[in-house]
Chain A
Amino acid sequence: MNHKTRTSLWAWLWVIIGALYFFVPMYGTFDFSLRMIKGQISLEAYRVIIGDPLFQEAIVFSLEMAVITILISVILFVPTTYWIHLRLPKLRPVVELITLLPFIVPTIVLVFGLIRTYGGPPFSLTNTGETTNILLVGGYLVLSMPYMYRAIDVGLRSIDVRVLTEASLSLGSSWWDVILRVIVPNLRVAILSGALITFATVMGELVLADFLVRPALGPYMVEIGKDRVFEPAALTIFSFAINWAAMGLIAFFARGGTAQQITGR
């Protein structure tokens, strides 16, 4: 057996071990979720969940929050990142450091900070459900910031921002034309990948929604897990499916692009 074949076999061995480590528990969970009716394989647990009004409320709420977070995130980060690339390139390392903060500051600290700062006067944002949603979206924006910024940053690096901007301006474009007609269309894949990662993050997020007492999917999953057996397993598979669907869509729309453009890493 030559060196190349030996290396290839080792590589495959580790792939198989990794895959088993990941897929065996998942298979076990999936199998368990199908056994709600004794002695049968059925989708009963899924039927119960989907029919639960609390689940419907939770998923609709989380979807709304995800869409709002994505929209605000795109409106906020695209022009900002563009401007940094164009006019303030020396600030990039500083901004990159700032976008890493959500990885360093635990979400529990974030949510307590939000409640302390905005819960009381003059803001009093925790007084009603609607105003608490503002805090929730703000928290989601912070959590999704590393992914959205990085995705857009990588997208901007793959195009010659300065020259395209100058070409557009020389043809009489306003700054909005430059961003909307030239820059954003060339960032479609980057924005989409950032949006899908944000979507997956929001849909699966627990701490913010739980401590702000909002009817999101994360707290619902915890609640279900307290006194049910098969339904939490079904919800886990459901949650995985949402994430994989998001990743699959990124891969689908980014075909032909680089891996960096897809994940922002």
Chain B
Amino acid sequence: MAFLEFSHLHKEFSGSIAVQEFNLDVEQGEFISFLGPSGCGKTTTLRMVAGFELPSSGRVTLAGRDMTYVPPNKRNVGMVFQSYALFPNMTVAENIGYGLKVAGKPKTKIKHRVDEMLALIHMENFYGRYPGMLSGGQQQRVALARALAFQPQALLLDEPLSALDAKIRLELRMEIRRIQQQLGITTIYVTHDQEEALSLSDRIVVMSQGRIEQIGTPYEIYKTPSTEFVASFVGQLNLVPVKILDMEAKQGQLGEHIFQAGRLAEKFSPESPCLAVRPEEINLGHQDGHNNLQGKVESIHYLGSIVRIRVEVGEAHFLMDLFNDHKLIMPKVGENCNFNFPAEACWLI
């Protein structure tokens, strides 16, 4: 039996389906991200684990115990909110110790645990400060410490980094992962940021319109997306309508070009087949043994270490991402150029 189980979870709000047929097993100590666009049901699912929403049907089990209708204050799960939700009337120490205080723990134990948590988040000097005196990043660290202080069975994070600027987000992301691994706590992390999900997670649950699109490791989600949605939501993707010549051989045609694909997607749609290939898999020039195409350079965008080139091939367009190193020979806009990608790097979807 998994540590945290979602069984046929379903949630409706006034006839509108927010989550449908959500099934997931989470092992103890795993870091799972729920990834998807706004409104896909990821936060609603998280709130059902926390007990702030009741499912319309289905079950949530934690450590063998059916939690579906257990009140939120009896579930022993810690939660970190997007808006930090620190108690403005309490100091950092009081915020962190709050869960232990309401549980009736002795003051010495609370103090000891608070000191431990402050050391964990590297904020030992902030003991007596109030939330209003902290930066966003500091507040979120304190919120994390508070959620962990009472040693919950699981940790839930609802887009905890969304309100922070890019640099702090990056720092805190690593902190969260470090702390999670150090404590070995089962964690569910909700985000719409694919970079966060890919860098933090043991597994990712990609959601769309209340349904699970795919569950897999970051590598699996990125390299072998099973649906068009996953392929286009996670990372950049070239998705080009093609004609299938031989389904078994995974051979297709784009204009006058014949190409070989590496695999068929799990949810391949033969009615509207598309060739999927990531921009970073495409290279300039001709390469024997690869799929070789030719097109006209439409635009070139410098993104710092990456140069993104858009190439027109008939009515289709390809984006290619090239490393901006000293070896790169740039084509010009309007010029014809050859480009190639290996068969293993593309698939039919």
Known contacts A171-B99, A172-B73; 15 additional CB pairs below 8 A are A163-B81, A166-B50, A166-B72, A166-B79, A168-B98, A169-B72, A170-B73, A171-B102, A171-B146, A171-B150, A172-B99, A172-B103, A174-B102, A185-B89, A186-B87
**A130, CB-defined interface residue at 8 Å:** no
Interface presence of A181 (CB below 8 A): yes
Known A-B contacts A166-B50, A167-B79, A167-B81; the reply to A172 vs B150 at CB < 8 A is: yes
CA distance A163 to B88 in the complex (A): 12
CB interface residues, A 159-194, toward B, < 8 Å: 159-160, 163-164, 166-174, 177, 181-182, 185-186, 188
The minimal Cβ–Cβ distance linking A181 to chain B, given in whole angstroms, is 7
* B window 138-179: CB within 8 A of A: 146-147, 150
Q: Is chain A's binding surface mostly helix, strand, loop or mixed?
A: helix
Total A-B Cβ pairs within 8 A: 65
Question: Contact at B147–A170, with CB atoms within 8 Å?
Answer: yes
- Asked if B306 lies at the interface with its beta carbon under 8 angstroms from chain A, I say no
Report the separation of the CA atoms of residues A177 and B99 in the bound assembly, to the nearest whole angstrom: 11
| In the assembled complex, B76 has its CB within 8 A of some CB on chain A | yes
Contacts of A181 in B (CB 8 A): 87, 98, 102
Q: Do A160 and B85 touch across chains, with their CB atoms under 8 A apart? A: yes
Cα A172 to Cα B152 with chains together (Å)? 10
Which residues of chain B have C-beta atoms less than 8 A from A174's C-beta?
73, 102
* Contact present for B73 and A164 (CB under 8 Å): no
Bound Cα distance A160, B88 (Å): 11
- Could you give 30 example pairs across A and B, Cβ below 8 Å? A159-B88, A160-B85, A163-B85, A166-B85, A167-B79, A167-B85, A167-B87, A168-B87, A169-B52, A169-B71, A170-B50, A170-B79, A170-B147, A171-B99, A171-B102, A171-B147, A171-B150, A172-B73, A172-B74, A172-B99, A173-B102, A174-B73, A174-B102, A177-B102, A181-B98, A181-B102, A182-B87, A186-B87, A186-B88, A188-B89
Smallest CB gap from B146: residue in A: A171
Query: CB-CB < 8 A to B150: which residues of A?
Result: 171-172
Cβ–Cβ contact B102 & A164, under 8 A: no
CA distance A164 to B86 in the complex (A): 7
Complex Cα spacing A160 to B81, Å: 12
Residues of B within 8 A of A (CB): 50-52, 71-79, 81, 83, 85-89, 98-99, 102-103, 146-147, 150
Find chain A residues with CB under 8 A from B78 CB: 170-171
Instruction: Pick the contact of A164: B74, B75, B87 (CB < 8 A).
Output: B87
Cα of A173 to Cα of B79 in the assembled complex, Å: 13
The complex places the Cα of A166 from the Cα of B147 at a distance, in Å, of: 12
Asked whether A173 and B73 contact (CB < 8 A) given A164-B87, A167-B87, the answer is: yes
Which residues of B have CB within 8 Å of A185?
89
Instruction: Give bound CA distance, A190 to B33, whole Å.
Output: 40
Q: List, in ascending order, chain B residues with CB within 8 A of A168's CB.
A: 87, 98
- On whether A170 and B102 interact (CB within 8 A), knowing A159-B88, A163-B85, A185-B89, the answer reads no
Query: Which A119-177 residues sit within 8 Å CB-CB of chain B?
Result: 159-160, 163-164, 166-174, 177
Please give, as numbers and ranges, the residues of chain B lying within 8 Å of A173 by CB-CB distance. Answer: 73, 98, 102
Q: Given the complex, which residues of A lie within 8 Å of B147, measured CB to CB? A: 170-171
The distance in angstroms between the C-alpha atoms of A18 and B18, with both chains bound, is 59
Q: Which residues of B contact A166 (CB under 8 A)?
A: 50, 52, 72, 79, 81, 85
Q: Which residues of A contact B71 (CB under 8 A)?
A: 169
The 5 A-B pairs with the shortest beta carbon distances in the complex, nearest first, are A171-B99, A167-B85, A185-B89, A170-B79, A169-B72
- Residue pair A172, B88 in contact (C-beta under 8 Å): no
Q: Count chain B CB atoms within 10 A of each CB in A163, A164, A170 and give the residue with the most.
A: A170
B159 to chain A, nearest CB (A): 13
What's the nearest-Cβ distance from chain B to residue A78, in Å? 15
The smallest beta-carbon distance between A167 and chain B, in angstroms, is: 4
Q: A177-B102, A181-B102 are in contact. Are A170 and B87 (CB under 8 A)?
A: no
Output the residue of B72, B78, B99 with the most chain A CB within 10 A.
B72
Alpha-carbon separation in the docked complex, A173 to B179 (Å): 25
A14 to B78, CA, bound (A): 58
Chain A residues with CB below 8 A from B76, complex form: 172
